[in-house]
């Protein structure tokens, strides 16, 4: 649903990952530690950084690096 402000958007920055299979990449990220939740757009995995605290950046980077190796 649209929540309390349908049609409103919040500014954000995202990282897009390309790989062999966006479905498999996203599934692997969700199974990892920490679990990383993203979405698929245009055949790429998109990680929206709006809800990632700056102190969590190293953990997110490690989780992504472990999957893309």
Question: Rounded distance, CA 56 to CA 34, Å?
Answer: 10
Distance CA 37, CA 11 (A): 19
CA distance 3 to 36: 23
> Kindly report the CA angle at 44 between 64 and 34, in degrees rounded to 5?
25
User: What per-residue confidence (pLDDT) applies to 40?
Assistant: 96
Contact 14, 47 (CB under 8 A): yes
pLDDT the model gives residue 56? 95
13-58: pLDDT as tens digits: 999 998 889 999 999 999 998 999 999 999 999 999 998 999 999 9
φ, ψ of residue 27 to 5 degrees: the values are -60, -40
């Amino acid at each position: 649903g649209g929540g309390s402000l349908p049609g409103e958007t919040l500014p954000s920055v995202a990282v897009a990952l390309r790989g062999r299979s966006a479905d498999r990449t996203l599934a692997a990220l969700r199974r990892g530690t920490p679990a990383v939740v993203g979405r698929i757009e245009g055949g790429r995995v998109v990680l929206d950084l709006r809800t990632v605290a700056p102190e969590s950046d190293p953990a997110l980077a490690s989780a992504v690096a472990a999957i893309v190796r």
